[in-house]
């Protein structure tokens, strides 16, 4: 029986290597670790091979060149998982290439415009008989699964509050930093007409031990566009991201102010310098990060309901969280589960239990409270 072949672009990168590591445990998979440098891809393959149950291969591939379609024709994967940056401002060329080659596509990129516009490829994807999914990451895949669960018996949802705060000692990739900086000080539009500056203000949220109280600031995510239309009641949506060290977080607030004053147009140009500056304090703080989703609504008797889902990631396992959706989807597709054909954001396809099963063996725990 032929193994289900998965080509992972950016496969030895920050998120790709973690996804490959998790998928390598499954004997029914054949994984192709792909990236610009074949030697780096092969190095990861050799590291994982002694304990891997999946078949492992390496390939040189630059998704930003025409060689992508040649690679798809050569390797004939059942599925491509795109894990390389940029995570903001990405275009649709990888998904379009997959549709032309009749290959399913899962993309971890969570840029608001990219995720919300993937539906423009829906007709082409249906014609080719493939699934094309955007935002298979912490947002909107995991946040959406949490809201679906928390609001399942609500007649109307009034508000949704989401926050993510990684531990300071947790490893961070350059593409992630560039994504965060891309909207620092830039206006973020809400579905109800409001607008606020990215990282322009802060509020506090208290997580369970060992995380505790963290500052959070507004960030640009697809949830702001998708959730008001998805849930009855057109809820207001607030999303905040935070840094564990308060002085670094306040530094982001000052950077946002500099952009609003016209002193700095785009902080992404300084991403490498800022990454090196932040790394000077990498031994400070902890390796524990957290995520929360809080939903307020009413039941069919108009009685108020408030529920919160919380995730705590310790031992530096936070960076695995954005890969859990892709891991769960790969297993579903490999098992032949009838996921809908077409191009769409990754919403309504996974349950919280799917994420919990994908996180098995990691130092990640969740809880729900009313």
Q: CATH number of the domain at 11, please.
A: 3.40.50.720
Structural domain includes residue 211: yes
Look over the chain and give the mean of its residue pLDDT values, rounded to a whole number: 95
pLDDT at position 358: 97
Q: What is the pLDDT of residues 263-301, one digit of tens each?
A: 999 999 999 999 999 999 999 999 999 999 999 999 999
* 1: pLDDT strictly greater than 80: no
Tell me the CATH number at 242: 3.30.360.10
Q: What is the mean pLDDT of residues 346-355?
A: 98
> Per the structure block, which two tokens stand in for 81?
């998982």
Same domain, 54 and 200: no
* 64: pLDDT strictly greater than 90: no
Same domain, 24 and 160: no
Structural domain includes residue 125: yes
Which range, of 30-39, 165-174, 241-250, averages the lowest pLDDT?
Answer: 165-174
pLDDT at position 162: 98
* 58: pLDDT strictly greater than 70: yes
Same domain, 326 and 198: no
Q: What is the pLDDT of residues 97-155, one digit of tens each?
A: 999 999 999 999 999 999 999 999 999 999 999 999 999 999 999 999 999 999 999 99
Confidence band for 176, pLDDT divided at 50, 70 and 90 = confident
Same domain, 145 and 241: yes
Side by side, the strands of the sheet bearing 55-60 are 55-60, 29-35, 4-9, 79-82, 104-107, 131-134, 342-345
Q: What is the mean pLDDT of residues 313-329?
A: 97
Interatomic CA distance for residues 77 and 356, integer angstroms: 27
Interatomic CA distance for residues 346 and 132, integer angstroms: 9
pLDDT at position 67: 86
Structural domain includes residue 324: yes
Same domain, 134 and 16: yes
* 237: pLDDT strictly greater than 90: yes
Domain tally, the chain: 2
Q: What is the mean pLDDT of residues 54-74?
A: 92
Instruction: Give me the domain span that covers residue 37.
Output: 4-138+320-350
Structural domain includes residue 357: no
- Contact (CB, 8 A) for 93 and 120: no
Q: Where are the alpha helices (DSSP H) in the chain?
A: 16-23, 38-48, 67-75, 93-100, 112-117, 122-128, 143-150, 174-181, 223-230, 246-260, 271-279, 324-334, 352-358
Which range, of 113-122, 143-152, 173-182, 338-347, averages the lowest pLDDT?
Answer: 173-182
Same domain, 221 and 255: yes
Same domain, 282 and 257: yes
pLDDT at position 87: 59
């Amino acid at each position: 029986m032929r193994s289900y072949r998965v080509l992972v672009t950016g496969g030895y990168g920050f998120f790709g290597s973690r996804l490959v590591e998790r998928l390598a445990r499954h004997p029914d998979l054949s994984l192709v670790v792909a990236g610009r440098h074949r030697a780096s891809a092969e190095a990861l393959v050799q590291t994982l091979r002694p304990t891997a149950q999946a078949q492992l291969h390496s390939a040189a591939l630059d998704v930003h060149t025409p060689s992508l379609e040649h690679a798809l024709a050569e390797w004939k994967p059942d599925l491509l998982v795109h894990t390389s940056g940029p995570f903001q401002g990405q275009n649709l060329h990888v998904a379009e290439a997959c549709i032309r080659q009749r290959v399913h596509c899962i993309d971890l990129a969570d840029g608001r415009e990219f995720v919300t516009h993937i539906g423009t490829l829906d007709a082409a994807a249906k014609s080719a008989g493939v699934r094309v999914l955007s935002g298979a990451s912490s947002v909107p895949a995991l946040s959406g699964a949490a809201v679906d669960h928390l609001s399942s018996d609500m007649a109307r949802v009034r508000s949704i509050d989401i926050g993510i705060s990684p531990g300071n000692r947790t490893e961070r990739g350059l593409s992630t930093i560039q994504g965060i900086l891309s909207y620092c000080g830039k206006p973020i539009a809400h579905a109800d007409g409001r607008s606020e500056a990215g990282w322009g203000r802060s509020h506090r949220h208290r997580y369970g031990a060992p995380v505790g109280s963290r500052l959070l600031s507004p960030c640009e995510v697809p949830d702001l566009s998708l959730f008001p239309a998805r849930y009855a009641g057109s809820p207001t949506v607030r999303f905040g991201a935070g840094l564990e060290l308060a002085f670094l977080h306040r530094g982001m607030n000052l950077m946002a102010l500099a952009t609003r004053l016209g002193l700095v147009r785009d902080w992404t140009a300084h991403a490498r310098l800022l990454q090196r500056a932040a790394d000077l304090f990498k031994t400070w703080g902890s390796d524990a990060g957290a995520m929360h989703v809080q939903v307020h609504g009413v039941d069919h008797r108009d009685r108020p309901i408030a529920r919160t889902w919380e995730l705590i990631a310790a031992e530096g396992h936070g960076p695995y969280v954005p890969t859990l959706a892709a891991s769960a989807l790969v297993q579903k597709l490999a098992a032949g589960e009838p996921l809908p054909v077409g191009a769409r954001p990754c919403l309504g396809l996974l349950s919280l239990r799917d994420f919990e099963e994908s996180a098995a063996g990691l130092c990640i725990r969740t809880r729900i409270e009313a």
